[in-house]
Amino acid sequence: MSMPIKILLVDDHVVVRAGFRMLLATDEQMQVVGEAGRGEQAIQLYQELQPDILVMDLSMPGIGGLETIRRVIQRHAQARILVFSVHHEQVYVQRALQAGARGYITKNTAPDTLSKAIQQIMLGKSYVEPGLIKPRPDDMPHSDYNAVIAQFTPREFDVFSLLAQGLTVHKIADQLCLGQKTVANYATQVKKKLQVETTTELAHLAVNLGIKVQ
């Protein structure tokens, strides 16, 4: 019998991690060897446990998911990372893959998709949930904006997405564990790059680009 695939789970919600763990426990080829609720903890556990694959969310406090991916890849170039996120918009998928993830699926996907994605990545392939990356008629008019967003730093993208969801600077600072002044500076940079003056304009732009505003 072959050794089970060692998995490190990263999500800031304990209940969600428990659900993932129970789902993976139904497959004898999978073994959850560790769990983390923050990116910083995930980086440390990855070094200690050396899992076969890291399954993680994008939205979490601290350094955030994208920066976590980047730092893990920076230290472990061959790391296998699968993003399991609530976000289905293409911009999130593209950012995760650009950061170094080898796969991306959403949390509302079929239960067996998680195991399938892990197995594909373990074979050296990439896996993106069908339907997440596809051409859209409205992509071309916004190509300039998409190009700007693609150049955002991980932290700028975090602030951009949270502003688009309607969060205040104060709430973003709490969620990302940053100072309010730091978040305000990021917000100013993001608006300047997108050539918008208000958060309302930014939110409308996000909607037009297909980014869900909650």
Q: Three-class SS string for 17-85?
A: HHHHHHHHHCCCCEEEEEEECCHHHHHHHHHHHCCCEEEECCCCCCCCHHHHHHHHHHHCCCCCEEEEE
Q: What is the pLDDT of residues 13-70, one digit of tens each?
A: 999 999 989 989 888 999 999 999 999 999 999 999 999 999 999 988 888 899 999 9
- Residue found by looking up tokens 């999500």 in the block: 11
Look at 111-125, 159-173, 180-194, 195-209 and tell me which has the smallest mean pLDDT: 195-209
Q: How far apart are alpha carbons 34 and 28 in whole angstroms?
A: 16
Each residue's pLDDT tens digit, 74-121: 999 899 999 999 988 878 888 888 888 999 999 888 888 999 999 999
> Comparing 8-12, 145-149, 152-156, which segment has the lowest mean pLDDT?
145-149
Average pLDDT over residues 144-157: 84
End-to-end CA distance of the chain: 46
* pLDDT for position 212: 58
Domains and CATH numbers, the chain: 5-128 (3.40.50.2300), 140-208 (1.10.10.10)
Above 70 in pLDDT, residue 133?
A: no
* Averaged pLDDT of the chain: 87
Band (134; pLDDT cuts 50, 70, 90): low
145 φ, ψ (degrees, to nearest 5): -65, -40
pTM value > 0.75: no
Q: Tell me what pLDDT residue 137 has.
A: 44
